Amino acid sequence: MSRFAPLPEPPYYAVIFTAQRKGADAGYGAMADKMAELAASQPGYLGVETTRDEGGLGITVSYWQDEAALKNWKQVSEHLFAQKMGREKWYDHYTLRVAKVERHYDGPEGR
Amino acid sequence: MSRFAPLPEPPYYAVIFTAQRKGADAGYGAMADKMAELAASQPGYLGVETTRDEGGLGITVSYWQDEAALKNWKQVSEHLFAQKMGREKWYDHYTLRVAKVERHYDGPEGR
C-alpha cells in the first residue's frame, strides 16, 4: 500500500499536524489507528501521509476536499480527542495548520 | 533548538515535501544539510519542520512569507537540485505541494 496520498485537482485542503510525542506509549498506537480509520471514513477525505522519527517528532498531513469536510472532521476528531484526553497525555507539544493546496508536483520523473 | 517552526500571523505559505528515500546515502545527508542552510538564508523564509522514519519516508514542511519568497526558493532549490542530479539518485518517489496557510493552533495547552 502506498504511503503517498493521491494528487487530486487543486484546490483542496491540507491539515498539517506536527507533534512531539512523550516517551511512553500509553495507548497511543491504538488511538492513532482509530483516528486514521475514522478519518478515512469521513466525507471529503482525500488521503493522509504520516511519518515519525526515533526522536518522537511526527508529521501527519491529511487532505480534504473542501471547507465542509474540514469542519466535519474538526468536530469528529475533537470529540474523540476530548474523550480520550490525549493531548496532555501523548504530546509535549503540537501545532496544527490548515492550508489550501494551490498546486503540486511529483517525481522524480520530472515536473 | 526547537524542531517546531514559528507560528507567524496567517496567511503564509507551506511547501509540503513528502519523499521516499532509496536505501543508500549517496551523499544525501550533506545535500540535505546544504539545502536547509540555503533555505534559511533566503528572503521570506519562516521556518521548517522535518522528520523521517526507519522505512525512509520523510515529510519536510517549509514555511514562506509570500509568493515572491516561494518563487525565489523554487529557482534557487531547483538550480541546486539539478546541479546535484539528486532526484533520481535519492528518491523513489516524492510529491511537493504548495499551500496557503489560513489558520493554525498549538497545544496541548488548548486552542
CATH of the domain at B85: 3.30.70.100
A:B CB pairs within 8 Å: 122
In a domain, B4, yes or no: no
In a domain, A6, yes or no: no
Task: Tell me which residue range forms the domain holding A46.
Answer: 18-105
The pTM for the full model equals 0.92
In a domain, B38, yes or no: yes
> What b/e readout covers B63-87, taking b as 16+ CB neighbours within 10 angstroms?
bbeeeebbeebeeebeeebeebebb
What ipTM is given for this predicted complex?
0.91
Per-residue pLDDT 10s for chain A (111 aa) are 799 999 999 999 999 999 999 877 778 888 888 889 999 999 999 999 999 999 999 999 999 999 999 999 999 988 776 665 567 788 899 999 999 999 999 988 643
Residue B13's nearest CA partner among B108, B101, B103 is B101
The amino acid sitting at A101 is V
Q: Give the three-state DSSP class for A8.
A: coil
Residues in chain A whose beta carbon is closer than 8 A to a beta carbon of chain B?
A: 3-5, 7, 13-14, 16, 18, 20, 49-55, 57-59, 61, 87-88, 91, 93-108
- A61 to chain B, closest Cα gap in Å: 9
Report how many domains make up chain B: 1
In a domain, B90, yes or no: yes
